Amino acid sequence: MRKYPGIVMRMIRRKSGERMRKMKAAVNSKDCWGCGYCAATCPAVFKIDEKDSKAHVHAFPTEENAQLAKDVSEACPAKVIDVWED
């Protein structure tokens, strides 16, 4: 797992209040190619910044989109995205 500044994490809870898992997502924007795959595939979590045209995490992965965010991290052509459970 790579280290990134500004790691985003969130505790996901079920409606019953039961703890599900902590999800973390990170993008190494310095090495991002800016292709936009992540933002197009999982816009709830990733976006392309207008200033630097690189991917950034803008929201926490939720129970509903956690698997999609993980799939995006595996498919990233630059291999700069990590999504994991803590």
Average pLDDT of span 13-24: 62
Predicted local distance difference test score (pLDDT) of residue 3: 52
Short-list 57, 68, 67, CA closest to 28: 57
Predicted local distance difference test score (pLDDT) of residue 12: 44
Q: How far from each other are the two terminal CA atoms of the chain, in whole angstroms?
A: 12
Give CATH for domain 8-85.
3.30.70.20
Give helix then strand counts, H and E, for the chain: 2, 5
Predicted local distance difference test score (pLDDT) of residue 33: 97
> CB atoms < 10 A from the CB of 15, how many?
5
- Taking only the tens place, the pLDDT of each residue in 33-71 is 999 999 999 999 999 999 999 999 999 899 899 999 999
Whether residue 9 is predicted with pLDDT greater than 50 in this model: the reply is no
| Global confidence as pTM | 0.75
